[in-house]
Each structure stands twice: as C-alpha cells, then as structure tokens.
A = this chain, B = another copy of it.
C-alpha cells in the first residue's frame, strides 16, 4: 500500500491551516549539531559505521551538505549495516528548494570545516554523569537570540538536528517533564533498543533522585541533568522565532522532547535562578511570550509509523498542543539495497530529513515516486565521487 505523501499524524483542530500558512514564506533550514557522550554507551546509537566513528557523524553530516562530501570522514556517515545517513534526503530537498541553510553548533565534539552559527562550545556529557549539560541556560539564551535573528528573515524556519544518542536523551527529558516516554521512542535501529535505553534512563533518574515530572517546575533542569545541548538551543530558537514566523521542528522523538521542553517552560513560573542572570533576563520576554501555535513537528513516516515506538501517544501527552506531520518517504522500490534497508527500520530520521522532505513535497507539490530518484542521485553522486 502506498504511503500518503504527507501524513497528518497528529493535528489539533486549531492547527488545521498550519501547513498552508508555512507555504506563504520560503523555507530556511538550520541543522543544530551537538554531541552527547550518551551516544558512546554501547548499544545506544547506530549513527556511525562503527562506535569509534559516532563522534564524527554530526560534523560529517553538515560537511556533506556544504561540500558534497564529509571532509572529516571521507564518506558520509553510515549505519553499521550500510544504510547511509539521512543527510542524503536533506541534500536532495535542499537542492530542489534552493533554500538557505545554516549550521548551528550547540556543542559538538568534532569541528566540521563549515561556517557554523556557534551557540555553545561544550559537548554534552553522558546522562549517567552528575550533570549532562552544564551550560544549559547559556545555550537557551543563545537559542533565543538566534531565533530572533532568523525570524527577521521572514522565512518558514525548519530546525533539524544531528545528535547521535539523541533519542535516549529525548526519552529522559520527556520523563523528567512528566511524560510516559519509556518504550515509546523511536531510534536508528530496528526495535530501537528500547530495553537498554529504558534501563539507562531509569537508572540515571534514580541516581539523581528524579521521578516522572520532577523537573516540571524548572524545565531546563531536565536538560541539565539528563539531556543534550541541542535541546536547549532548539527550544530557544523555536520559542523566540515563533513570535513572527512558522517554525517546524525537524525530527521525531528528539523534537517531541524539544516540544515538551517548550511546553513545560511555558507552563512554568520561570522561577529558575538561571533566569535571574541579567543578559538572559533581558531576553526572556521573547521566550515567555512564545506562540506555540506557530510551532509544529515534522518527521518521516519511518518514525511516525514505527511499530516499536508510539509517537501518537507522545504527541497526546505534550504539555502544549502541537501538530506532528510526517513525510511519506518510501524506499522499498529503491534500486539501492542500502536505501531499501530504511524500510526495515534502519536510520529512519536525522539532519531534518523528514521535515525537509515534507517541505520539498509541500512547496514543490512532489510525491515519493518523483522525489526518490533525486535522493538516489545524491547517494550515487557521493559514492561515485569517492576516491
């Protein structure tokens, strides 16, 4: 059965015009990269051909977009079994849309050879460490500024990410913000290795004296203790930009966690000592007065329809109502085995692939059968141009 081009996975009634509104301004794509040492725990991430290569994945992804190939890696990132990084989908969409693209660095271990809008310079630690993201308030502040600046362009803002290990930190943050997320997240391998991730998150929460919802009064604490640097930057960007423009959080599980953070912040009393810091205090109105009705999430159908996850349940639990859309990408007919492996649950999402595919399909009135050959061409260009 053919997937629909765009799946309205979750669409609150007040969001019915969201996608039409997006079309009124051209798209601008950002990809926020960050490292979390959570990704280095064996079994957590398949975002790299081998465990040693995982730290290079985010840098390699954005180098591929800019340079056509990953300078730090020689080729683009791969899943251990061969399927390539979803960056090929993003590249195909960017080529078609001719959209501006900006890399945001929230704190990545490897510095790619591309210009980056630097929001933070410190990679995140593992969620089993006492503090995972020490500079969370600073990151949130930088996000607010970036959102203000980008919103002045009057584009529809699409915020992708490349953060290996990010679905595990997403699960942890959602739990700390009161959502039942265990067993419901997606990830980059078939089955999503739920039990390992679940055990990790549960153990980290117990060790830190946290239970479901513990961080609701001080939502940034969820990121500080259990999250990754991308989450704080992305929430800041989305909140301040939402004043003026439509914002699409590009990702599945990881962006539901960002949406949870946004919602929890909006429901909170903003009473954290972080917010008393003068520079952040001056900027805070841009976040406090965010317009969540201007924010949506977009991912791929591989994530939204993942039987080993439950994105619909996560969306229903969000503290603010937001729509989730999915691009009906289908690689089952691909002439490349490595791409058809996506249909078996490998890779699924990343580098804003779902949101960018959805944007290309939406703006250019494209379906999977016309878009797939363009993605295949990107894949072939990269692998044919190898030395």
Contacts and interface: CB of A to CB of B under 8 A. Distances in A.
Contacts of A283: 67
A282 B99 contact: no
A106 to B, nearest CB: 10
Interface string A98-122: 1111101100000101111111010
Closest 5 CB pairs of A and B: A100-B152, A115-B146, A118-B118, A115-B142, A117-B117
Interface string A150-165: 1011010000000000
Nearest to A113: B279
Query: What DSSP secondary structure best describes chain A's contact surface?
Result: mixed
Interface centre among A104, A138, A150, A153 (most CB of B within 10 A): A153
Given A116-B118, A118-B118, A145 B66 contact: yes
Nearest to A100: B152
Interface in A334-352: none
A100 B71 CA distance: 31
B152 A98 contact: yes
Task: Give the size range of A's interface with the partner.
Answer: 20 to 34
A68 interface: yes
B68 A149 contact: no
Nearest to A147: B115
7 contacts: A67-B279, A102-B117, A111-B121, A115-B119, A115-B145, A116-B117, A116-B118
A283 B113 CA distance: 13
A385 to B, nearest CB: 10
A17 to B, nearest CB: 25
B149 A101 contact: yes
Interface in A131-154: 138, 141-142, 145-146, 149-150, 152-153
Nearest to A97: B152
Interface centre among A68, A145, A150 (most CB of B within 10 A): A145
B119 A117 contact: no
A45 to B, nearest CB: 26
Contacts of A121: 111
A43 to B, nearest CB: 34
Interface in A228-261: none
Interface string A63-96: 0001110010000000000000000000000000
A384 to B, nearest CB: 15
Contacts of A116: 117-118
Nearest to A155: B153
A111 B149 CA distance: 19
Contact of A282 (B28, B67, B102): B67
A114 B150 CA distance: 14
Given A71-B279, A149-B100, A153-B100, A118 B115 contact: yes
Interface centre among A66, A68, A111, A121 (most CB of B within 10 A): A66
Given A67-B279, A99-B152, A116-B118, 7 more contacts: A66-B145, A67-B282, A71-B279, A111-B121, A115-B119, A115-B145, A153-B153
